[in-house]
Amino acid sequence: VPTPADESGELVDWLMQYGYLPPTDPVTGQLQTWEAVTSAILTMQQFAGIAETGILDDATLALIQMPRCSLPDILPSRPAKLSTGQHEKRQQRKSRGRR
Amino acid sequence: SAGLAWTKRNISWRVKTYPRGARLSRETMRVLMYYALRVWGEAAPLTFHEVGGHSADISVEFLRQEHGDGSPFDGPGGMVAHAFFPGDPQRAGNVHFDSEEDWTFRAPDDDGMDLFAVAVHEFGHSLGLTHSPSKRSIMRPYYQGPVGDPLQYQLLADDRLDIQRLYGSRALHSTERPEVSTLLPALSALPRDFPALRSADHPDRCSSSIDAVTQIRGETFFFKGPYFWRLTQGRHLTSLRPALIAGFWRGLPSHLDKVDAVYERPTDYRILFFSGPLYWVFKDNSVEEGYPRPVTDFGLPRTGVDGAFSWPHDQKTYFFKDGLHWRYDEAAGHMDKGFPTHDTPWGPMPSPVDDVLSGNNGEVYAFKGRQYWKFDQHSLKPEGSYPRSIAKDWLDCTEEPYPPSSAPTSPMTGARPQPDVRAPLPEAEHCVCYSTSTC
């Protein structure tokens, strides 16, 4: 799996810090895939309202060097509450006997 | 929004710590926080009131680098501030500013970080709003420079709608202002000192006894004659000169000679002034309708009181007069049974006392003449190195009031006062800087 170039490490850290990339798995040490990084850059560019190039261009570089609030832009999604119908289906599945 | 909001609409706030060596004065920072909260209170039916002590809903701190919340700061630039959402179980209401930033106010765009702009953004988080992709939103995550005069600043439509989705809308009449209670001076008056004084007829703080002392919103006020001195939450005298009581608390008679006691009512943060047979109730700096009223409303003697204070330990208010004391239940609205009595929980206390004050941690201070005693919050006994000089410990007077050889003994313990290295060392803030050019 292609990994980000070393010089982009700072970018990856920034994207993780502000919620555009999930944190790396501390157990496996799995690096972010380049596809994921590119996708995150696109999301970040869209959020910031700059040209969506998917690469670390001048405008994106300028943006990540700007002073900012340290809270993430994309909050980790919380488990959605199940609707009544979904809940009933799960209960039915649980109560079915094994073959 | 983050999907969570405060369930209450009456939200307390305080600035807990300030940056060292900042170019803005503490007073300026507090005023800017007040105006930043007012921005949100103008759009939504939220009431903000400043409090002292440790239990504010929104607690503002200036911190640096790693500070224990998992979001370390990184020095100038980069991450400048953060705040936690109302749904955060441990950190809700915490608002942190990087103390290593160069916080400014009314400075050019590229000169430091505009504290008001950042504070409005962070308070948005404290109330439940997340970052916005809108380029004009105050909730955009990137610092966009100053946003103009805090007195005139208003939320843009999108931000207004976002906060109203969480809390509903505030229908204001054109002359109404949202309620953000505080005792701060007007922003336009900041560079100047507190109310102007007539010539030099005011009392000398270093040689005077005091009539009353109180803590309001965490600040300490000493009253003498028609004047008062004010100390910040960090016990810094805001001005060496006293200000006129009636000039600051609008509604007291201008000919008022003195006040006997003042205290902040814990149930609604109203401020009560006692002078002779009368008392007044203030909401911030303005008197409430229907006052003054006789002190007999409380079940007190018509001659008035020597002192009064509210004790956070039991949420009761204690009144003192001629060696007697009463205990008033603010929630029930009546005196407790068994009072008045000579035996105070704090003993022995000087009698008659000029006034009594409670500190943030429940410790109690009794003032008489030019001296004060401190009573431990646990044992309720006077601490050994007291009495000490009011002027020296509280009012920024440097001279030794008593030569060591003639130091008086305590009327209670018989002990001579000893130096106490734990005592506060007041510093005076004499100037307010708005930019490097005027500092």
ipTM of this complex prediction, to 2 decimal places: 0.75
Query: What does DSSP say about strands B293-294 and B243-244: parallel, antiparallel, or unpaired?
Result: unpaired
How much of chain A is helix, strand and coil, in % rounded to 5?
45, 0, 50
Of B81, B83, B133, the CB nearest to A49: B133
Q: How far is A79 from chain B (nearest CA, A)?
A: 13
For residue B361, pLDDT over 70 is answered with yes
Q: Which two tokens stand for residue B214?
A: 């109180």
Chain-chain contact of B143 with A48 (C-beta, under 8 angstroms)? no
Q: How far is A33 from chain B (nearest CA, A)?
A: 25
Chain-chain contact of A72 with B131 (C-beta, under 8 angstroms)? yes
Closest to B283 in 3D by CA, of B47, B108, B123: B47
Q: Which helix (H) or strand (E) holds A89?
A: helix A84-95
Chain-chain contact of B2 with A69 (C-beta, under 8 angstroms)? no
Q: Which two tokens stand for residue B167?
A: 């809390």
Q: Which two tokens stand for residue B422?
A: 């734990």
Please, are residues B316 and B337 in contact by the beta-carbon 8 Å criterion?
Answer: no
Longest Cα–Cα distance of chain A, Å, equals 61
Nearest residue on chain B to A43, alpha-carbon basis: B133
Output the pLDDT for position B409: 43
Q: What pLDDT digit, counting tens, does each position of B282-294 carry?
A: 988 888 888 999 9
Q: How many CB pairs under 8 A join A and B?
A: 57
Q: What pLDDT digit, counting tens, does each position of B74-119 carry?
A: 999 999 999 999 988 889 999 999 999 999 998 877 788 999 999 9
Q: How far is B409 from chain A (nearest CA, A)?
A: 56
**Three-class SS of residue B390?**
helix
Chain-chain contact of A71 with B133 (C-beta, under 8 angstroms)? no
Of A46, A65, A68, the CB nearest to B141: A68
Contact B79/A at CB under 8 A: yes
Edge-to-edge strands, sheet with B355-358: B355-358, B364-368, B371-375, B388-389
Q: Where are the alpha helices (DSSP H) in B44-94?
A: none
Nearest residue on chain B to A67, alpha-carbon basis: B78
The mean per-residue pLDDT over the stretch B34-58 comes to 88
Chain-chain contact of A71 with B78 (C-beta, under 8 angstroms)? no
Q: Of residues B343 and A84, which shows the higher confidence score?
A: B343
Q: Of residues B3 and A47, which shows the higher confidence score?
A: A47
For residue B152, the tally of other CB atoms under 10 A from its CB is 7
Residues 2-31 of B with CB under 8 A from A: 2-3
Residues 132-191 of B with CB under 8 A from A: 133, 135, 141-143
Using beta carbons and an 8 Å cutoff, which residues of A are at the interface with B?
A: 18, 46-49, 63, 65-73, 75, 78
Enumerate the active-site residues of B: 122
Q: What pLDDT digit, counting tens, does each position of B116-136 carry?
A: 999 999 999 999 999 999 988
Query: What does DSSP say about strands B79-83 and A68-69: parallel, antiparallel, or unpaired?
Result: parallel
Of B83, B131, B135, the CB nearest to A49: B135
Please give the single-letter amino acid code of residue B242: P
